[in-house]
Structure 1
Amino acid sequence: MKDAEHAGAWQLAWWKFRKHRLAVASGIVVICIYLVAAFAEFLAPQGAGDYSARYTYAPPQQLHIWDNGEFGLYVHGYKVRVNPESFAREFVIDPETKIPVGLFVRGAPYKLWNFIPSNIHLIGPVKAGQPMYLWGADRLGRDMLSRVIHGTRVSMTVGLVGVSLSLVFGIILGGLSGYYGGGIDTAIQRVIEFLLAIPTIPLWMGLAAAIPPTLPPLQVYFMITIILSLVGWTGLARVVRGRFLAMKNEDFVTAARLDGAREMSVIFRHMLPSFASHIIAAVTLAIPVMILSETALSFLGVGLRPPVVSWGVLLQEAQNIRTVATAPWLLLPGVAVITTVLALNFLGDGLRDAADPYSD
């Protein structure tokens, strides 16, 4: 009890957050996802663009851990059969063929973080050239697991960078609106209401369709991020405005003014830190919205485009019902999206409850 009496706001919020087991578990999942994004080249068995036309639409292989009672990783190979109904060539698992799989194997060369050259992969076939498709292959014979891992970096950074830009817009415009009030507040709130009145997806599609198709993939990536940020700052701005309106007449703000502090100092050194935990919770809840937005735009073909690999780009393969019927593993990027969005939402709920002193 004595510790609680002398603990600071951040310590109390941490103690409260630890009691939210689902949020803690979700936080661990989110950290793991961002680690996958950071070390994508090392974790992926193959490069994002590596393909083998010989194994188009190859089904997923099961990774076996024990070989004749001893520890040994392997997958079964493939054999080809002709479908008696459609007369199409199909791959089936051949239980008589074993393909040894190893850890920290040498494979396709890459540059980790674009400056550390290496060819070591966490997992892969011991003998180069042998097929290993744990999540199956797509229409070009590209490994779905590797492409989902590489897509994690793009999708997660779009959400993080987009929310960071939205955070800057939201804090500046929401802070000015709540602190000064009057005509500034009216003008900013009318802009927010105008943006909120426009249907979100058509607005995103209209802005994304204006991006020239000849732009390099990296510029398209930044343009999509900026578009999502320009539309996504409104909710955070209203949160910041409400907190500023509630605090601008508090005693500690008045004391800072009387002490001669400048207005920017009052805002950024005294007012913002007092509800930083609320901002963190709002940002955490905004990241999944950004991820879903990028996924939706890329799925519809007006967002990121190949050769960029994101979860939305990968889901473009799942637009064909016939393809999905014969290769349902093409929907696995959607599982990654759902898992990430749920984890971020649960984490955001836990942070919001921990930051709220009046919640149970």
Structure 2
Amino acid sequence: MSTALPSTNSSSKRHYVDPTPFDPGTTEPIGTENESFYRASSWQLMWWKFRRHKVALAAAFVLLLFYLIVPFVEVIAPYNQTKRHGDFLYAPPQQIHLMHEGRFVGPFVYPYKFTFDLETFRRVYTVDTSQPQPIRFFCQGDAYEFWSVWNTNVHLACPPENGTMFLLGTDRLGRDMFSRIIYGARISLTIGIIGIAVSFALGLLFGGLAGYLGGWVDHVIQRMIEILRSLPELPLWLALSAALPPNWSPILVFFGITIILGLLDWPGLARAVRSKLLALREEDFVKAAELMGASKQRIIARHLIPNFMSHLIASATLSIPSMILGETALSFLGLGLRPPVTSWGVLLNEAQNLAAVQLHPWLLFPMVPVIVVVLAFNFMGDGLRDAADPYH
């Protein structure tokens, strides 16, 4: 009895093919350079995808510059926000020049001279181009209290000796608009961060309870969200802002407006948290944590929320512009922050007079940083949302 030998026909031969290609110039497989990709955390993957979004990256850089100004507004602003120049009421912006009569002088401004028009009862400003006045840098100017700790007078840039430097003009009291916009950045930018912190905490709390517990808790929270979202937002802002006591200090008004904005913004975030928890609470790792005796609070805080925290950050970033616009709208209407607090909305409140805007259009300059910051937050939020999407 003979045993059949395996056929040596080429058609029946099985060839092993290495699925990992090799680079002829090296002894390492090409696939190993992607090893870091497979070992990367979700935050690293999110950063790598966000880095490819050039518009969002540029918007993040713009926002970084704005928020770097916040701790150093006294140093950057050439004047104190309350300093008045009685001889320069509604003075137009002064231009910065580098060349004078064909020679390089450096950054300087030409001084203003004004005459009073008896027919229109207006000041007429003329530029004296015969006397260039160099701008001083890293100099001593108006005194201020830095971070409420040090008394100093050091500024990044100062007006010329015995001269003026009104880069964005002055208001009805002769206060420098550029300095007041710089000071206003501190309030307008921080109110968005504090407001979203309040909204974020409430959204995580109520959304987490509704999504994980379900049942009657979910029904009660959903009905509460529906009631809040059915109310007109702007009239509700106005009503709550008008209810703040008029004798409150500016700091209390600031925190009151912040809490109002946060209380009215959390329902959208809570619904996003609820939908994510409903999708994740049936996963195997949740069941394993329950079998190991983990409490509901621990499961939500340590296992569920970290799995979609990147999505929450993207949603929160898109909510900050609404906070800034809300404060600006309330202050513009006179129901938000009030002087002596300076914000972009308070500065725009002076632009309600159409006659003043027609004669002095530089009063609308505080609108420019509002537009830039809101657009930057929206572009960065779009980039973060795309980066946090695993299917994008």
TM range (shorter): over 0.9
- Tell me the CA shift for residue 5 of structure 1: 1.9
1-side partners of 2:51 and 2:259: how far apart?
35
2-side partners of 1:71 and 1:249: how far apart?
72
Select 2:381's aligned residue among 334, 338, 348: 348
User: Which amino acid is 1:281 matched to?
Assistant: A
Select 1:320's aligned residue among 353, 362, 374: 353
Matches within 5 A, 1:326-341: 326-341=359-374
User: Which amino acid is 1:74 matched to?
Assistant: F
- Structure 2 counterpart of 1:94: 128
**Stretches of 4+ aligned residues off by more than 6 angstroms:** none
- Structure 1 counterpart of 2:112: 78
Matches within 5 A, 1:144-159: 144-159=177-192
| 5-14 or 139-148, which deviates more | 5-14
Cα deviation code 1:15-40 (max 9, x no counterpart) = 10011000000000001001111211
1-side partners of 2:345 and 2:389: how far apart?
35
Report SS of the residue matched to 2:138. Answer: strand
| 106-115 or 208-217, which deviates more | 106-115
- Tell me the CA shift for residue 84 of structure 1: 8.1
- Tell me the CA shift for residue 120 of structure 1: 0.6
Contact 1:59 1:92 (8 Å CA) reproduced: no
1-side partners of 2:35 and 2:116: how far apart?
75
Select 1:247's aligned residue among 275, 280, 290: 280
1-side partners of 2:210 and 2:179: how far apart?
46
Matches within 5 A, 1:125-204: 125-127=159-161, 129-204=162-237
Unaligned runs of 5+ in 2: 1-33
| 254-263 or 23-32, which deviates more | 254-263
- Tell me the CA shift for residue 279 of structure 1: 1.0
Report SS of the residue matched to 2:335. Answer: coil
1-side partners of 2:313 and 2:35: how far apart?
28
Q: Does 1:268 align with 2:301?
A: yes
- Structure 2 counterpart of 1:113: 147
User: Which amino acid is 2:149 matched to?
Assistant: F
Matches within 5 A, 1:202-241: 202-241=235-274
Report SS of the residue matched to 2:316. Answer: helix
- Tell me the CA shift for residue 85 of structure 1: 6.2
2-side partners of 1:219 and 1:4: how far apart?
49
1-side partners of 2:330 and 2:110: how far apart?
38
- Structure 2 counterpart of 1:279: 312
Aligned-residue sequence identity (percent) comes to: 50
1-side partners of 2:384 and 2:154: how far apart?
38
- Tell me the CA shift for residue 217 of structure 1: 0.6
Cα deviation code 1:138-184 (max 9, x no counterpart) = 00000000000000000011100000011100100110011111111
2-side partners of 1:116 and 1:265: how far apart?
44
Report SS of the residue matched to 1:46. Answer: coil
2-side partners of 1:327 and 1:254: how far apart?
66
- Tell me the CA shift for residue 71 of structure 1: 5.3
2-side partners of 1:167 and 1:231: how far apart?
11
User: Which amino acid is 1:207 matched to?
Assistant: L
2-side partners of 1:225 and 1:74: how far apart?
41
Query: TM-score by structure 1 length?
Result: 0.96
User: Which amino acid is 1:98 matched to?
Assistant: P
| 111-120 or 287-296, which deviates more | 111-120
Larger radius of gyration: 2
2-side partners of 1:93 and 1:269: how far apart?
65
**Would the alpha carbon gap of residues 7 and 85 (structure 1) be closer, same or farther in structure 2, given more than 3 Å must change?**
same
Report SS of the residue matched to 2:261. Answer: helix
| 82-91 or 308-317, which deviates more | 82-91
2-side partners of 1:43 and 1:73: how far apart?
16
- Tell me the CA shift for residue 259 of structure 1: 1.7
2-side partners of 1:74 and 1:300: how far apart?
38
Cα deviation code 1:245-299 (max 9, x no counterpart) = 1111111111111122111111111111111111111111111100000000000
Unaligned runs of 5+ in 1: none
- Tell me the CA shift for residue 83 of structure 1: 4.8
2-side partners of 1:87 and 1:166: how far apart?
50
